[in-house]
Structure 1
């Protein structure tokens, strides 16, 4: 073979190898890897915690909320209405992350999970990272949203109550998240 033929064959081989490497990397980067299911969240919280935070609560309700690269389930309970209008609501979700759209399975790497717009986030010493914000007013009900990450798990707690002090709500939501994280 002539020398220019060898150069063409070599150049073609390099192009094929570079294209295969880039295509493989892009495919791996954008692949969705579904994670294993997280444990059911209701049994991870002691019944007395539900009784304390949501007095006269109804039955615990559960459901799954899955998406690409995420498997999760939640537990919800609400207090029965009272004549005085006092009420409480507790929603707890546990999610397990996999790989999706170039993002790895670590919870702290997820966009928006630990950042909330239009509210001030406050850090909590829990898991790999945790933040909360409080919204609403005391008369109609204050609501705390707490997000905590631990490895590939994300725990979300939404607790709403009337006539509750902010410090008590923070302590309550943190205790619920800690209760869930202690099982992981």
Structure 2
């Protein structure tokens, strides 16, 4: 009887570990380009090329991205906007909550600033105003993660932060 109990406990523990460590891919998130109004693209990336869309999937994660870049100008002004909408499942013992993902909301070697978006959001800014400032903004909302990378020349830090936050809010408003 004791042997049978031990076998059952071992099987249960092994089954629990197997289930906990299982990878479960989530359903695909919606395409991200249609979630952002055309006026936002036109305002943030003037004289832009066509929108480019694609997928970036990994274990326990599916995501769609949207990329738009400004056309070349004589003055050298440029801008680009990359937005990714990811949806998380189970992977390596982590649940599907975006907040449970390591490193998504914390970047090393940069100062992370909090933003009041979703469940949690942070951004950092890099680059130079003259050659191009870049903001990386990451936000979580349930099982979704939104990443915004916006780069522009001759833009003040407050404007670039507000721009990236606006794009993230556009996407979050559909979820």
Query: Which category of TM-score, normalised to the shorter sequence, fits these structures?
Result: over 0.9
Residue in 2 aligned with 1:122? 113
Instruction: Give the Cα separation in 1 of the matches to 2:133 and 2:6.
Output: 61
Instruction: Give the Cα separation in 2 of the matches to 1:57 and 1:149.
Output: 28
Residue in 1 aligned with 2:172? 181
> Among 141, 149, 172, which residue is 2:140 paired with?
149
Count, aligned residues: 175
Larger CA Rg, structure 1 vs 2: 1
Offset from partner CA, 1:119-160 (integer Å, 9 cap, x none)? 000000000000000001111100000001000000000000
The unaligned stretches of length 5 or more in structure 2 are: none
Residue in 2 aligned with 1:112? 103
Residue in 2 aligned with 1:6? none
Tell me the secondary structure at the aligned position of residue 85 of structure 2.
Answer: strand
Residue in 2 aligned with 1:4? none
Is 1:72 paired with 2:63? Answer: yes
Residue in 2 aligned with 1:33? 24
The unaligned stretches of length 5 or more in structure 1 are: 1-9
Residue 15 of structure 1: how far off its partner (Å): 1.4
Residue in 2 aligned with 1:5? none
Runs of 4+ with deviation above 6 angstroms: none
Instruction: Give the Cα separation in 1 of the matches to 2:127 and 2:88.
Output: 30
- Please show how residues 1-184 of structure 1 align to structure 2 within 5 Å: 10-184=1-175
Residue 18 of structure 1: how far off its partner (Å): 1.4
Residue 47 of structure 1: how far off its partner (Å): 0.2
Instruction: Give the Cα separation in 1 of the matches to 2:79 and 2:72.
Output: 9
Offset from partner CA, 1:93-144 (integer Å, 9 cap, x none)? 0000000000000001100000000000000000000000000111110000
Residue 53 of structure 1: how far off its partner (Å): 0.0
